[in-house]
Amino acid sequence: MKKGLRIKIDNEPYIVTEFNFVKPGKGQALYRSKLRNMITGAQFERTFRSVDTFEPADLEKKKMQYLYQEQGKYCFMDNESYEQVFLTEDQVGEAKNFLIDNLEVEILFFEDNALEVSVPNFVDLVVIRADPWAKGDSVSGKTKPVTLQTGYQIQVPPFVEEGEKIRVDTRSGEYLTRVKD
C-alpha cells in the first residue's frame, strides 16, 4: 500500500492520501492512513494491519471535452456518444485554473461515476489583465502577476502583455513561454 493508491472499500473507490508505518512499543506493525472517498470527497483515518488485503478500485479513463461551468458544476461531454457528465468544484480541484471551452481532457470513472479530471500537461491561455511594462522591470528574475481567462493568477516575466497568449505547465501551475497564434 502507498500514497496515491486507489482501493475499493464497501464497493466505493477511495484514494490513499496519507500513509505512515507505525509500531506501538512491542506491538505489531500498523499502517495509519488517511483515505478520501473519490465520490463524496469524505475523508477519514483508518489503521491497517500488515496482513490486511485490499481490492484495487477498478477505474477507467475516458477522453472528453470541457463544455461549461454553471453554479459550481463543471460539464464535460463524450465526443462520440454525446453523453454529458458533471463534476463538482472539489472534484475538479486545481484543474479549474486551466479549463477553457472545448479543452480535451481525461475523465476518470468508477463504474458510472465521474471522479476526476486530468487536463493536458500544457495549456495555452489568454492574459486578460496585466499591468503595463514599466521601464526598469526588465532586471533579470523579476516577474509580475497577471490574470488569465480562467481567473487564474500567475507570475510571468514583465514583457508579457494583456491580450497575449501564454503556455502554462498545468502540473506546476507555472508560466512557460509566450505563444503566437
Q: Give CA–CA dist 10/29, Å, rounded.
A: 24
Residue number with CB closer to another protein (26 or 135)? 26
Site for another protein in 29-88 (CB under 8 A): 29-30, 32, 45, 47, 51
| By the rule CB under 8 A, 132 interacts with another protein | no
Q: How many residues bind another protein (CB under 8 A)?
A: 15
**Closest approach of another protein to the CB of residue 143, in Å:** 25
CA atoms within 13 A on the CB side of 62: 20
Residue number with CB closer to another protein (32 or 167)? 32
Cell output for 147: 490574470
What strand order describes the sheet that includes 55-56? 43-49, 30-37, 12-22, 6-9, 55-56
Q: Counting Cβ atoms within 10 Å, is residue 168 exposed (0-12), middle (13-18) or buried (19+)?
A: buried
Kindly tell me which residue out of 1, 17, 28, 155 binds another protein, with binding defined by CB under 8 A.
Answer: 28
Residue 79 to residues 9, 67, 73, 159, Cα–Cα distance (Å):
32, 11, 19, 38
**Closest approach of another protein to the CB of residue 68, in Å:** 44
| By the rule CB under 8 A, 4 interacts with another protein | no
Residue 175 to residues 75, 107, 138, Cα–Cα distance (Å):
26, 25, 17
CA atoms within 13 A on the CB side of 120: 14
| By the rule CB under 8 A, 181 interacts with another protein | no
**Closest approach of another protein to the CB of residue 23, in Å:** 7
| By the rule CB under 8 A, 22 interacts with another protein | yes
Kindly tell me which residue out of 2, 10, 11, 25 binds another protein, with binding defined by CB under 8 A.
Answer: 25
Residue number with CB closer to another protein (9 or 29)? 29
Site residues for another protein per CB under 8 A: 20-30, 32, 45, 47, 51
